[in-house]
Amino acid sequence: MSDSSLENLPKGWKSIPSDLGSDQTAFKGVQWGKSMMWIFLLSDTFIFSCFLISYMKGRASTVVEWPNPSEVFALDFMGVPVPLLLIAIMTFVLITSSGTMALAVKYGYERNKKMCGWFILLTAIGGLTFVGMQAFEWSKLIHEGVRPWENPFGAGQFGSFFFMITGFHGTHVSIGVIFLFIFSRKVFRGDFDTGKRGYFTTMKSDYVAIEILGLYWHFVDLVWVFIFAFFYLW
């Protein structure tokens, strides 16, 4: 390409559509399900962002003292209140499940059915453990008088923010756990090796589906990191 042609190329941000438009392979061969999952995760990112921004706005604007997380989320251990003990365990379990999901994707592409299935099952158990601990946390706070409309620890809107945001995230985790158990069964049964179709789709099963599920699971784990920082550390 001549120097004069290079000078006529768009500069800065305007060069992005030009570069993508001239690249005939940028979007060729992209798996449809993977593209749709990225779009879904992008839209979900906006929803969680709105929730967390609302939480920051509500906390910053209240004139009532905000509850101290070290007191609200403390757990008695041998008669001694330990701040954030349950939350630390929940976070460890969920982040660990992200590692087992990555290994499941790895073994899936290696066509190692046995290891892939076991790591998906381990991920599902980790997610189920997280949901169980979150249910215990909810029941503990409800027993102590925390409600969406009132809170004995301080600002009343704390309960509404807490139950809304953690409940929305917990719903995501629960849905992921259901699909993880389904996928572990499909892997052990050999559906991804034979290309067997699912119950609600005409598309053949493929190990790419495990990577797509992994994208969802990593997203759920990443969102929890932000919730953990905003609710329990701030």
Residues 83-114 pLDDT 10s: 888 888 999 999 999 999 999 999 998 888 89
Residue 46 has pLDDT above 70, yes or no: yes
Q: Which of the pair, 114 or 202, is modelled with greater confidence?
A: 114
Least confident of 84-93, 119-128, 204-213: 204-213
Residue 166 has pLDDT above 90, yes or no: yes
Which residues have CB under 8 Å from 173's CB, separation 6+? 94, 127, 130, 131, 134, 220
The per-residue pLDDT for 95 is 94
Mean pLDDT calculated for residue range 42-49: 94
Mean pLDDT of the chain: 84
Mean pLDDT calculated for residue range 207-227: 93
**Where do the domains of the chain lie, and which CATH numbers do they carry?**
73-234 (1.20.120.80)
The per-residue pLDDT for 10 is 65
The per-residue pLDDT for 29 is 63
Instruction: Determine which helix (DSSP H) or strand (DSSP E) holds 220, and give its type and residue range.
Output: helix 208-227
The per-residue pLDDT for 148 is 85
The per-residue pLDDT for 86 is 86
The per-residue pLDDT for 147 is 87
Cα 25 from chain centre = 30
Determine if the pTM surpasses 0.85. Answer: no
CA distance 97 to 127: 7
Residue 2 has pLDDT above 60, yes or no: no
CA distance 141 to 137: 6
